[in-house]
A = this chain, B = another copy of it.
């Protein structure tokens, strides 16, 4: 019975050292990849460590390394499948590169600034923000503390802060071209009230491309909740169905709400009456009911670029801010 919880005394490197008849430094070195220890001592140390159930105390290691291997990820909601994939990819990539992702979600109680500030106290080796951009002041603080900071899908050009964005301009134009090539002659774009930077760029690139083709873009403005926003747009769009319009939504979640309600609530035929193009290529876009033409962004490439940026800046904190643009591609399905 007391076999299972023998002792609660934490075993330290010193204990191991004594048992192995070496110095504490020898123990330390044995657990430090690339340190100079003879294979013989290392084995002695491992054996003793094993016997004692020793585990390196990373906290102590961090204290004199003056930095942890934690990377903070500040995100908002994950209700959108694209966001979820983004977090997933980022977390995996970070771990693969030897970091430990700390996931901090924004909600009523916490602002970006607060979260970033606590992260600074934790001596993290980097921060990725996929929600709002933090105030300039705290960014300077990051720089001062040599904490690399990367922003995903943000416009803000801040000193010492890197960014990675999708090629929203190209994406918006692809969407437009898809609709044009499908023979549409009337165009609608759905704009959410609280639209992020990326969405805005996609929308204006879309309108621009449509204009170049000699057409006009009508905008339908809706609320911020993604699927519901699309559903909300469905009524207006259904009223225009006679003109057989092509509709662009700057995210799949919105596009799916629109398409779903168009088909199942308003009896509109897709793509017969209305063509729809989305953005992100979430898994649901390929579902049978939707068969949504969309613009694909690779979350893995986003993740890779982000982590690379972080690592670069860790080595050279003085680097000028860099912006990495991720390629997008059109996924042609049946809805356009």
> Residues of A at under 8 Å CB distance from B?
4-8, 10, 53, 55-60, 62-63, 66, 68, 70, 73, 77-79, 81, 84-85, 87-88, 91-92, 95-96, 100-105, 107, 109-110, 117, 120-123, 140-141, 143-146, 159, 227, 231, 256-257, 260-261, 263-265, 283-284, 287-290, 318
Contacts and interface: CB of A to CB of B under 8 A. Distances in A.
Contact of A10 (B66, B73, B103, B287): B66
Contacts of A257: 287
Given A59-B123, A60-B63, A100-B102, 17 more contacts: A4-B159, A5-B143, A5-B144, A8-B144, A53-B141, A57-B123, A59-B63, A59-B68, A79-B84, A79-B85, A96-B109, A100-B122, A101-B102, A227-B287, A260-B288, A284-B284, A289-B289
A58 B122 contact: yes
Copies in the complex: 2
B95 A88 contact: no
B68 A77 contact: no
In the A-B complex, the 5 residue pairs with the smallest Cβ-Cβ separation, listed nearest first, are A84-B84, A264-B288, A289-B289, A78-B88, A103-B103
Contacts of A10: 66, 145
Given A6-B144, A8-B144, A59 B62 contact: yes
Given A88-B79, A109-B96, A59 B6 contact: no
A53 B121 CA distance: 11
Contacts of A104: 91, 95, 100-101
A58 B123 contact: yes
A10 to B, nearest CB: 7
B110 A95 contact: yes
A183 B91 CA distance: 47
B95 A87 contact: no
A23 to B, nearest CB: 21
Contacts of A159: 4
Contacts of A103: 73, 87, 91, 101-103
A102 B119 CA distance: 12
